[in-house]
Amino acid sequence: MVLRRETKQKRVILEEIEKSTNHPTARDIYNSVRQQLPRISLGTVYRNMDLLVREGKIKRLDSGGREAHFDADLSEHHHVTCVSCGRIDDLATSQELKVISETFEQKGWVIHERRVEFLGVCPVCRTGGAGGR
Ligand SMILES: [Zn+2]
Ligand SMILES: [Zn+2]
């Protein structure tokens, strides 16, 4: 029975990550999963998200010391991270990047993953948020 409950928790967590488009943290997922599973703990959410990462169902995005964000979109794409609020937006992959990795392959490298990360300040933070400046 314990096993069945754990499977359900993991399924609900995965569904929440897949539904969200804003690269949630474990804490974000915990807050939305709690509406369906009121007794779930933050530790359980962390543990299940680790499992999902290891199973290759979601990706963990390392955001330089901040709380890790997660992504259910496994297609090749890149991210731009706001250094002020931590918001992460998606960037499509580019033809140029494929050309760059081909030049590495010509030098004998085997490329597993192409990853480009942009850091900046998002439009909301740039304009001082809702309060204005
Ligand atoms: Zn921002
Ligand atoms: Zn993404």
pLDDT in tens, 57-113: 999 987 666 788 999 999 999 999 998 988 899 998 888 999 999 999 999 999 988
Those residues with Cβ within 8 angstroms of residue 24's Cβ, 6 or more apart along the chain or in another chain: 16, 17, 32, 69, 70
Compute, in angstroms, the gap from residue 125 CA to the centroid of ligand 1: 4
Those residues with Cβ within 8 angstroms of residue 16's Cβ, 6 or more apart along the chain or in another chain: 24, 29, 32, 33
Compute, in angstroms, the gap from residue 57 CA to the centroid of ligand 2: 13
Ligand nearest to the CA of 127: 1
The whole-number pLDDT of residue 133 equals 42
Those residues with Cβ within 8 angstroms of residue 63's Cβ, 6 or more apart along the chain or in another chain: 69, 81, 86, 88
Compute, in angstroms, the gap from residue 45 CA to the centroid of ligand 1: 26
Compute, in angstroms, the gap from residue 96 CA to the centroid of ligand 1: 27
pLDDT in tens, 5-54: 778 999 999 999 999 888 999 999 999 999 999 999 999 999 999 999 99
